[in-house]
Amino acid sequence: MFGGTAQLVATGLIKLTGSKLAPAGYVATCVVVSLIAVAMLKETADKPID
């Protein structure tokens, strides 16, 4: 989902802010969202498959 739009978003962020470092903020935001999602996953290793 994010990979297909990454170039478009990066170009838009550079034009909007004028900074070539703006896409780094986009990547950092995606990392934080991913870490939150992974932290919310439940462990299922000890549960039987029904």
Q: pLDDT by residue for the chain (50 residues), tens digit each? A: 667 888 898 999 999 999 999 999 988 988 999 999 999 999 888 888 87
Tell me 47's DSSP state. S
> How many Å is the Cα radius of gyration of the chain?
17
Tell me which amino acid residue 14 is.
I
Long-range contacts (CB closer than 8 Å, 24 or more residues apart) made by 18-25? none
Q: Residue for token digits 């990979």?
A: 3
pTM (2 d.p.): 0.69
